[in-house]
Structure 1
Amino acid sequence: MNQIETNRLILRPFCDEDAAGMLEYLSNPRVNCFLADRISTLEEALAIVQKRKEHHSYIAVCLKESGQTIGELFHLKEEPDTYSIGWNFNEAYEGKGYARESAEAFLSYLFVEKAARRLYAYVEDDNVRSQALCERLCMRKEGLFLEFISFTTYEDGTPKYENTYQYALLKKEWEQHHSL
């Protein structure tokens, strides 16, 4: 992927300079699905950046004005033309429309450049911000998986299973929405 520019953001592959920004949003993940990515040092962030650089499925989201890395978008292809998508953002930048702005450009990239037919995202039932983002992106809520997956445990060590929504968007739905 080459760089994508929006009004206020740059979406691009990760580089070493992204480690400090990544440390900010991965030092205290607010969503359980990112708990395994929790880091506490710049060295750990640099190691993850190296992995992100090797895997083109992760995209850094940076402020155009300052170059500050404020989050990431990611996708996983399922043959032949379906992609699982997701995002992770620094909470200090919430409520400013950056997630939507970057995600809209990301969806366009996947549908146009990667020839995606269908995109879907899993969102925990308590992650209302990501649910709202999916809905602003015109994704349909397709279902709720009860006790779908566990990313954490209760105090006694037993798994805490989370209820998870699945949202999806077909290319023809995206095209219809963007032709209005």
Structure 2
Amino acid sequence: MEFFSTDRLIIRSFRESDAADLFAYFSMPRVNCFVDEQLATLEDAVKEVRKKSKDHSQFAVCLKDEDVLIGNLFAMQEEDTFNVGWNFNGSYEGKGYAREAAAGLFDYLFVKKEGRRIYCYVEDYNIRSQKLCESLGMRGEGLFLEFISFVKKNDGTPRYENTLQFAILKWEWEKLNGGR
């Protein structure tokens, strides 16, 4: 099922044929928050795309011309508010795909899903995601010190990460984007 498209991308449900492309970037997560989704085998990737295909909070981001999976978005709904995030294959960085996909997601959530507020959490070391949030017009709302742990230290104790929260309201998004 296609949710929406942009100039260069199709955002749709996951398909079993996405397994190899998902494995390409989930076999070695670059950000700790995705460590629990790390995939060890292609068979694990097949199971994961089957699971994601049934989850309406998960979106596959594909190149329009080739229908190649280059990343994924998620949007978890809490009444009229959405907690969003993204993960992209590093091979496709620097081409504006993440911003294009996220902007399309924001339009979709504010217009089609009648969202009022969108927010996301970003680790303090994830500068690329912080810049993406800022380029989307999101404002920093706070810094949570030692907020969450995704990985363990060498001694087996949790390594807590500092986490930033960014958000944008529908009227702010509309103002930035000419009322769309």
Superposed pair shares fold, TM > 0.5: yes
Query: 2:86 is matched by which residue type in structure 1?
Result: W
2:92 is aligned to 93
TM normalised by structure 1 equals: 0.97
1:8 is aligned to 8
Q: Distance in 2 between matches of 1:122 and 1:43?
A: 30
Deviation at 1:7, TM superposition (A): 1.2
Report the 3-state secondary structure (helix = DSSP H, G, I; strand = E; otherwise coil) of the residue aligned with 2:25: helix
CA contact (8 A) 2:58 2:73 kept: yes
TM normalised by structure 2 equals: 0.97
Deviation at 1:66, TM superposition (A): 1.4
Deviation at 1:3, TM superposition (A): 3.5
Query: 1:47 is matched by which residue type in structure 2?
Result: K
Deviation at 1:96, TM superposition (A): 0.6
Deviation at 1:25, TM superposition (A): 1.0
1:54 is aligned to 54
Report the 3-state secondary structure (helix = DSSP H, G, I; strand = E; otherwise coil) of the residue aligned with 2:2: coil
Q: Distance in 1 between matches of 2:10 and 2:57?
A: 16
1:172 is aligned to 171
Pairs aligned (count): 179
Q: Distance in 2 between matches of 1:152 and 1:87?
A: 19
Query: 2:75 is matched by which residue type in structure 1?
Result: H
Unaligned runs of 5+ in 1: none
1:104 is aligned to 103
Deviation at 1:89, TM superposition (A): 0.4
Higher mean C-alpha deviation, range 1-10 or range 31-40: 1-10
2:64 is aligned to 64
Query: 1:121 is matched by which residue type in structure 2?
Result: C
Percent same amino acid among aligned pairs? 56
2:32 is aligned to 32
Q: Distance in 1 between matches of 2:149 and 2:109?
A: 28
Report the 3-state secondary structure (helix = DSSP H, G, I; strand = E; otherwise coil) of the residue aligned with 1:164: strand
Deviation at 1:64, TM superposition (A): 1.1
Unaligned runs of 5+ in 2: none
**Runs of 4 or more consecutive aligned structure 1 residues displaced over 6 Å after TM superposition:** none
